[in-house]
Structures are given as C-alpha cells and as structure tokens.
Amino acid sequence: MLKVITVFGTRPEAIKMAPLVKELAKHRDGIDCKVAVTAQHREMLDQVLELFEIAPDYDLDIMRRQQSLFDITSRALTGLQEVFQKEKPDLVLVHGDTTTTFVAALAAYYLQIPVGHVEAGLRTRDKFSPFPEEINRHLTGVLADLHFAPTANAKQNLLSEGVSGESIYVTGNTVIDALLATVRPDYVFADQVLSRIDYGSRRVLLVTTHRRENLGEPMREIYRALREVTESYDDVEVIFPVHKNPLVRSVVEEELGGQNRIHLIEPLDYQPFANLINCSYLVLSDSGGLQEEAPALGKPVLVLRNTTERPEAVDAGTVRLVGTGREAVASETRRLLEEHEYYGKMANAVNPYGDGLASKRIVQAIKHKFGISKEPMQEFCPS
C-alpha cells in the first residue's frame, strides 16, 4: 500500500483538494490516504470540510486572530513534524501557495518524504505580489518531487527554472472538478438576502477581497469605487461575502456599511457561492480561485490586483487586471455596465484551467510513478 497524506489549511486549498481526496479514496486497493489539516483557517475551512464530507485524520487547529506569518509557519511546522513522524507517509500532497503549503512541503523535506505539489508552476515573477504567495509557491516547487501543473503555461514556467520535464504533469486545475460538481442551473438559494434578489432584472456585482498586500488603503480605494458606482445604477446590487480577517472586516464596515443595495454578508458555503457566480453579472475580486471559476461560467472578472499568476483567462479576454486605484476600478466597472458589446466580448465561457478530470489525472500520475499502475497519465489539453 502507498501511504499518502494530503495536507491543507485554508478555504481555497480545501476546495481544490476536496476532489482529489475523494478520488484518492476510490483507490483504496493501492492507496492509503490520510488527511491532515493545519486549520490555518477555522470557520472557512470547516465550511468546506462539511460540504465535501471530509473528516480529517489530523487537525492542528493553529488559527489565531490576526495571526502573523511567523505564527502560522512555526505552529504548522511543529505540528506537521509530529504527524509525519507518526504516519511515515510515502508521499505528502500539498496545494497551491499558502503558508500551510510551503510549511508542509518543508516539513516533509526535513523528514526526506517525497512531496507532490498540486497547482504547481504559477508565477507572477514579482516577489511581493501576491505576498507571500509568490514565494510560497516558488519554494514549494523547489522542495517538490512531483509537480502537478494545471496548464501548459505553468509547466513552461517550471521548465524555465530547470525543473525536469519528467516530474511535471499537466493535469488541469482541480477547482474545475469542484465547480462542475457544484453548479446547477436550477439551484435555489436558502440564504434570505440571496433568495430575494431577482437575478433576471438586477445586475449583481459579486465582490471579494482579502489579499495581504491590499489591506488598508488599497481596499479603501476599491470600496470607495464600488460605493460610487452602485449609487449611480439603480439596477445594480453588490453582494460581498466578507472574508473573516478582522483587518478586512473593519474597513469594509467603515466604507460600505449601511449602503443601499450593498449587501455585506458572511463568507458563503462553496455551494451557494459557486452558484452565485453563475447568477452574477460581473465579479470584482483579488482572489486567485475566482479568476479560474468565473471564466468557466462565462462571467467577466475585474482583478483587483497589480499582477496575476493566471494569465490564461486574461489572454482569452475574460479577465482584466485593474489594480486597486479608485478611478480605474470605477471606470472599468462603469464600462462593463454601460457598453453591451464590450461586456459581451468579456462574458465568454472559456475553460483554459480544466475539464473536471484533474483529480483523476493526478491519481493516475501517482499510481504510475509509484508502480501501482502501468498506465501513464494523459495530459490535459484545453478544448
């Protein structure tokens, strides 16, 4: 039996690892799969665990209010040392670019355990944007033995850094596996705010913000732009599920609290959230995952950042980088509300990130690599 430990800690890692955990569980004849969560996020992680019915074997429960990078790093490293020493896995699987990701890869390396990196190879080439994710992802790549790159472009990034082609597998992104299993055309919202909106006649702007480099003034600028735009269009409703970070929440409340047609709500469970993307007119976000999900559903995204490690949907014309300046955010949003042809060009369903089979490919690659199966993985090619 091949013993695999999957490690994650935050909401996006959980959403993107859930399909893989489920897929690994289908191969119990050859793979013994355990799940360890750092719980770098608490409530936002638990929402996903509940939805996908994943009961972790280990829960380090490290989250603290306003935790620093040092807090996360040190608590996760010590906790994972114990887990890995006890379980002695043959492979540790990590996802993406969070501090949990990097630390889990480091802990595995210290114990000389092979590491598989899911969502490998994305790069902005800017050390501080996103911070600290760009470097977390890079360092995880340096430590990893198997690189599951979602796209050919991500593979190319790794090759250009000298990573051996034999260790890179182009799989598609598991977020599309999760999305396709979750979005339904006849979905009915249970939430009172969401169920009252007539999505046929109202234009919903779906907003999320959380990036560390946007905390403070950049977020204020974004919110002021939103307020200004919402005031000038009667048919616009802003739905803003506010991240649990108190540094985000205080500024959101100050700038957008008590405004007509701006609905500040708690983070949504993934199921209503994914279905809300599908009902929205436009997405404004500094999230990574939303840049992959919204294009798959044909929804334009204004990215509230100065860089992106996801150029594929920008190239396809569905995603636009607007930064955080008040003027730029307001004018791009107005343009998409007023110019139908312009909106139409951006509202194209494109799927450069996956076809719903990424988890299957990753498991196939692992089985082949460790001699459980003779069949090699077939690479993902966007249609």
Chain contacts with ligand UDP (rule: CB under 6 A):
11-12, 15, 175, 208, 210, 241, 267-268, 270, 273-274, 287-290, 293
Verify whether residue 23 is a known catalytic residue.
no
Question: In whole angstroms, how close is the CB of 56 to ligand UD1 at the nearest point?
Answer: 15
Question: In whole angstroms, how close is the CB of 131 to ligand UDP at the nearest point?
Answer: 12
Which is the catalytic residue, given 42, 202, 203, 212? 212
Rounded to 10 deg, the angle between the 326-338 and 217-232 helix axes is 30
In the block, residue with structure tokens 């950042």: 305
Three-state DSSP class for 206? strand
Closest CB to ligand UD1 among 245 and 280?
A: 245
Closest CB to ligand UD1 among 220 and 335?
A: 220
Which is the catalytic residue, given 11, 210, 211, 310? 210
Question: In whole angstroms, how close is the CB of 129 to ligand UD1 at the nearest point?
Answer: 12
Closest CB to ligand UDP among 359 and 364?
A: 359
Question: In whole angstroms, how close is the CB of 9 to ligand UD1 at the nearest point?
Answer: 7
Binding partner selected for residue 302 from ligand UD1, ligand UDP, none, CB under the kind-specific 5 to 8 Å limit? none
Return the half-sphere exposure (C-beta side, CA atoms, 13 A cut-off) of residue 155: 19
Phi, psi of 93 (to 5 degrees): -105, 130
Binding partner selected for residue 42 from ligand UDP, ligand UD1, none, CB under the kind-specific 5 to 8 Å limit? ligand UD1
Pairing verdict, β 146-149 and 236-241: unpaired
* C-alpha–C-alpha distance, residues 122 and 158, integer Å: 8
Verify whether residue 97 is a known catalytic residue.
yes
Closest CB to ligand UDP among 87 and 293?
A: 293
Binding partner selected for residue 348 from ligand UD1, ligand UDP, none, CB under the kind-specific 5 to 8 Å limit? none
Question: In whole angstroms, how close is the CB of 160 to ligand UDP at the nearest point?
Answer: 24
Question: In whole angstroms, how close is the CB of 44 to ligand UDP at the nearest point?
Answer: 7
Contacts of residue 228, Cβ cutoff 8 Å, sequence gap at least 6:
326, 330
Stretch (H or E) spanning 138: helix 133-143
- Contact criterion met (CB below 8 Å) for 141 and 106: no
Verify whether residue 133 is a known catalytic residue.
yes
Closest CB to ligand UD1 among 12 and 172?
A: 12
Which is the catalytic residue, given 97, 134, 221, 292? 97
Closest CB to ligand UD1 among 151 and 214?
A: 214
Binding partner selected for residue 67 from ligand UD1, ligand UDP, none, CB under the kind-specific 5 to 8 Å limit? ligand UD1
* C-alpha–C-alpha distance, residues 65 and 249, integer Å: 13
- Contact criterion met (CB below 8 Å) for 355 and 337: no
Helix, strand, coil share of the chain (percent; to 5): 45, 15, 40
Return the half-sphere exposure (C-beta side, CA atoms, 13 A cut-off) of residue 48: 27
Binding partner selected for residue 65 from ligand UD1, ligand UDP, none, CB under the kind-specific 5 to 8 Å limit? ligand UD1
**Would you tell me which residues interact with ligand UD1 (CB under 6 A)?**
10-12, 40-44, 63-67, 69, 72, 97-99, 132-133, 210, 212, 244-246
Verify whether residue 243 is a known catalytic residue.
yes
Verify whether residue 27 is a known catalytic residue.
no
| Sheet strand arrangement including 91-95 | 58-59, 31-37, 2-8, 91-95, 115-118, 146-149, 168-170
What six digits make up the tokens of 283? 């997405």
Closest CB to ligand UDP among 182 and 364?
A: 182
Verify whether residue 46 is a known catalytic residue.
no
Contacts of residue 264, Cβ cutoff 8 Å, sequence gap at least 6:
240, 242, 252, 253, 256, 257
What are the angstrom distances between the C-alpha of 297 and each of 184, 209, 258, 300?
11, 20, 31, 9
Binding partner selected for residue 336 from ligand UDP, ligand UD1, none, CB under the kind-specific 5 to 8 Å limit? none
The catalytic residues are 97, 119, 133, 210, 212, 243
